[in-house]
Chain A
Amino acid sequence: IPVSSRQAFPLPSLPRKQPTVLVVCGPAQNGAIGLVCARHLRIFDYEPTIFYPKRSPDPLYRDFTTQCEKMDIPFLSYLPTEVQLINDAYNAVVDAVLGAEAEMGEGREPCAAILATLKHVRIPIVSLDVPSGWDVEAGSSGGISPDVLVSLSAPKQCARRFLGRQHFVAGRFLPYDVQKKFELNPPEYPGTECVVALRAPR
């Protein structure tokens, strides 16, 4: 995701002086991936801030949290409901709230309130795998509209409904047997890149 972000939002192009990015992490795997993303954004010289209200007890995910703390990445204690504050403070939002596994997550707090806020932000949203709150197959009616989608492993069915500017796939390291089993037909990745931009289907 950070590599895609770098391609979609190169540092020199950011509107704000500080390369700030808000990373919103949900309670499950999608959120954990968001933590990894935040750490890499930091390594790549962005200034991420994390909002991670409901922390998973999973030891691996707790390690991810520790790594972010050790990288001096700030964790917000609350998400402003005043959307203008978010628009003013950050260049982009990484949506790592809910992934393909979420069935009930959307309705539950704190996700519901977070999604309600994210629907109204004016700065670009980069969604991880599935725009949070979307049905993994049918897509969304009235949910968030990300600017960039980074599909993990392979695009999910709901990606057909994606209307944003750029769609990336990060799935270079899938084992061949998995690729064959699910007939994934992955795209060609250039050189040693682990992320590839898909052409918008217009």
Chain B
Amino acid sequence: VLVVCGPGNNGGDGLVCARHLKMFGYEPTVYYPKRPNKPLFEGLTTQCQKMDIPFLPEFPAEAALIDELYGLVVDAIFGFSFKGAVREPFGSILSTLERITVPIASIDIPSGWDVEKGKADGLQPDMLISLTAPKKAAMHFAGRYHFLGGRFVPAALQEKYALNLPPYPETDCVLQLT
């Protein structure tokens, strides 16, 4: 699995994801070109390294190469606070990802999408994992699998923001919505 981590919190989520993928028997590889100078992200990176997860020095040049090397790509580039123009290297990365044929799983929001309106000509992931609650853009999600994760919102907050979250089964922390 190729896990592509962006420069902010979504990238941090990607690092956590990579570590868990390793624990669950997958073989993740991380690409993490822009790393924030903060202890949280440095710690997450260290954890991945201690789990022997390789970090690519450069992004695969072509979509065909990604298709050959990986069965899945986790898109952890941009999250819900993304706005405006895409800075390099993420512009080229997203262009390449738009051309791969292996499935993409996006964390919270497909990278580059507007959090409410989506992006018609943008990334089209096969799987979306909405964190805490789906964002408005999820209405434009056309992939096969939409999951909800982040089972920790207290009842009082759910009511305050009228989240209307569906009940999670048993002790699962993930719920399949479609």
Do A and B pair up? The answer is: yes
Most buried by B among A67, A172, A175, A176: A175
A70 with B51, Cβ < 8 A, contacts A2-B171, A173-B23 known: no
Cβ contacts under 8 Å, B19 to chain A? 173
Q: Which residues of B contact A2 (CB under 8 A)?
A: 171
Which of these, B24, B50, B151, B152, contacts A175 with CB under 8 Å? B50
Number of interface residues of B (CB under 8 A): 15
Closest Cβ neighbor of B47 among chain A residues: A175
A10 to chain B, nearest CB (A): 9
Given contacts A6-B170, A44-B171, A176 and B155 within 8 Å (CB-CB): no
Would you mind naming 8 contact pairs between A and B with Cβ atoms under 8 Å apart? A3-B171, A6-B170, A43-B152, A67-B154, A71-B154, A72-B155, A72-B156, A176-B50
Residues of B within 8 A of A43 (CB): 151-152
Q: Which residues of B contact A71 (CB under 8 A)?
A: 154-156
| B157 CB → nearest A CB, Å | 8
Q: Tell me which residues across on chain B come within 8 A of A72, comparing CB atoms.
A: 154-156
Q: How many A-B residue pairs have CB under 8 A?
A: 29
* A3-B171, A6-B171, A172-B23 given; A70·B154 CB < 8 A: yes
CB distance from A73 to the nearest CB of B (A): 10
**Residues of B contacting A67 in the complex (Cβ-Cβ under 8 angstroms):** 154
Contact, CB under 8 Å: A192 / B24: yes
The answer to the question of B52 belonging to the interface, with a C-beta cut-off of 8 Å to chain A, is: yes
Measured between alpha carbons, how far is A3 from B23 in the docked complex, in Å? 18
CA distance in complex: A177, B155 (Å): 39
